[in-house]
Amino acid sequence: MALLNFRKKTTEDTPLNGNVEALLKDYSIEVMPRTAEKVENFKDMLPAGTRVYIAHIEGTPIEDMVATAKRLNADGYPVMPHFPARIIKDQATLADWIARYQGEANVDQALLLAGGVDKPHGDFHSSMQLLKTGAFGKAGFKRLHVAGHPEGNKDIDPDGSMTNVNDALRWKQAFSETSDAEMALATQFAFDAKPIIQWADDLKAAGITLPIHIGIAGPAKLQTLIKFAIACGVGPSLKVLQKRAMDVTKLLLPYEPNEVLAELAAHKAANPEFNITHVHFFPLGGIKTNANWAIEHGGASGVPASQQG
């Protein structure tokens, strides 16, 4: 398999600068077992040590999840599998999953979330319930991430407010202060920096100081992004894509997250205490496309694993 072109480049819309490169340092990326199977060699794409989340979609066998984690771990990537509460039947199932991940793939970190299932499969319906079991602490997990929603979550707050979401985050903040694991928020993707910045600042003002790993949709066809954005309940920032779709000069061009990242990076540079600390990519246009884009824009200094000593 030929190596990708890892040459850094700039774009007309958003020139590469040190602020963007700093924000992309230690970025993470998300895969699913079925998408990972299509990747011949992750070392040709991702810098060594890149955290890789493994999304657990309803119906995916735990065997496939563990096999993907094992492969990535063997290649030198810290893996963070999803634990979606609503598809975990009971505490015995949770313990089994944890044991498999640890025993076969040396996993010591996880993303805990409710999961996009309307009806729970069993005893759990929220990430708070998973945390309350104490199972991850007993297993010695070193890092636990929980979900964040910069534009709200209508599954949790049907009225469009942030009331229940923020109550849950306050609980998780308090939990983090008693846990030995490092905790952070990993968020849904959004396309407009201004509401993201406001949301992050509001959390901090409310005493929620968990570091934020901001979700960013990677390069993809505009139609693909709009489809995923609607399906995932992306809120006001969907207008960014809809506005772009109305411009015939941009309609057929792939979307790239230059603008949102440049604005977030500039804000971070001007406000070093800003609580967004990392970027987490959703490779909606493909892992290869996203990984190459991140490298070209300075992610982890542009050094893929296959070129590191």
Contacts of 77 (CB under 8 A, 6+ apart): 42, 46, 48, 49, 50, 51, 52
Identify whether the C-beta of residue 173 lies closer than 8 Å to the C-beta of residue 181: no
pLDDT of residue 8: 38
pLDDT of residue 247: 55
pLDDT, greater one: 276 or 296:
276
Q: What is d(CA 138, CA 231) in angstroms, rounded to the nearest whole number?
A: 36
- Concatenated DSSP letters for 232-292? TT--TTHHHHHHHHT-TTTTTSPB-THHHHHHHHHHHHH-TT-SEEEEEEE-TT-HHHHHH
Q: What is d(CA 156, CA 6) in angstroms, rounded to the nearest whole number?
A: 41
Contacts of 97 (CB under 8 A, 6+ apart): 62, 83, 88
Identify whether the C-beta of residue 224 lies closer than 8 Å to the C-beta of residue 284: yes
Average pLDDT over residues 101-119: 94
For 144-157, the pLDDT digits (tens) are 999 998 987 667 76
pLDDT of residue 10: 39
pLDDT, greater one: 75 or 246:
75
Record the tokens describing residue 175, joined without a space. 């939990």
Identify whether the C-beta of residue 183 lies closer than 8 Å to the C-beta of residue 146: yes
Is the pLDDT reported for residue 16 higher than 60? no
Mean pLDDT of the chain: 87
Beta partners for 110? Answer: 144
Average pLDDT over residues 19-42: 95
Identify whether the C-beta of residue 84 lies closer than 8 Å to the C-beta of residue 53: no
Which pTM value belongs to this model? 0.88
Average pLDDT over residues 226-245: 67
For 161-218, the pLDDT digits (tens) are 677 888 999 999 999 999 999 999 999 888 899 999 999 999 999 999 999 999 999 9
Identify whether the C-beta of residue 283 lies closer than 8 Å to the C-beta of residue 30: yes
Domain ranges across the chain: 18-301
Average pLDDT over residues 242-270: 79
pLDDT, greater one: 116 or 159:
116
The vertex-130 CA angle with 232 and 56, nearest 5°, equals 40
Q: What is d(CA 78, CA 143) in angstroms, rounded to the nearest whole number?
A: 11
pLDDT of residue 237: 63
Q: What is d(CA 309, CA 307) in angstroms, rounded to the nearest whole number?
A: 7
Tokens 């708070």 locate to 128
Q: Whose CA is closest to 152, among 187, 112, 181?
A: 187
Class of domain 18-301: alpha beta
- Per DSSP, the three-state class of 99 is helix
- Concatenated DSSP letters for 46-78? S-TT-EEEE---TT--HHHHHHHHHHHHHTT--
Q: What is d(CA 210, CA 147) in angstroms, rounded to the nearest whole number?
A: 11
pLDDT of residue 307: 65
pLDDT of residue 282: 95
High-pLDDT (> 90) share of the chain, %: 69
Average pLDDT over residues 64-93: 97
Q: How confident is the model at residue 12 (pLDDT cuts 50, 70, 90)?
A: very low
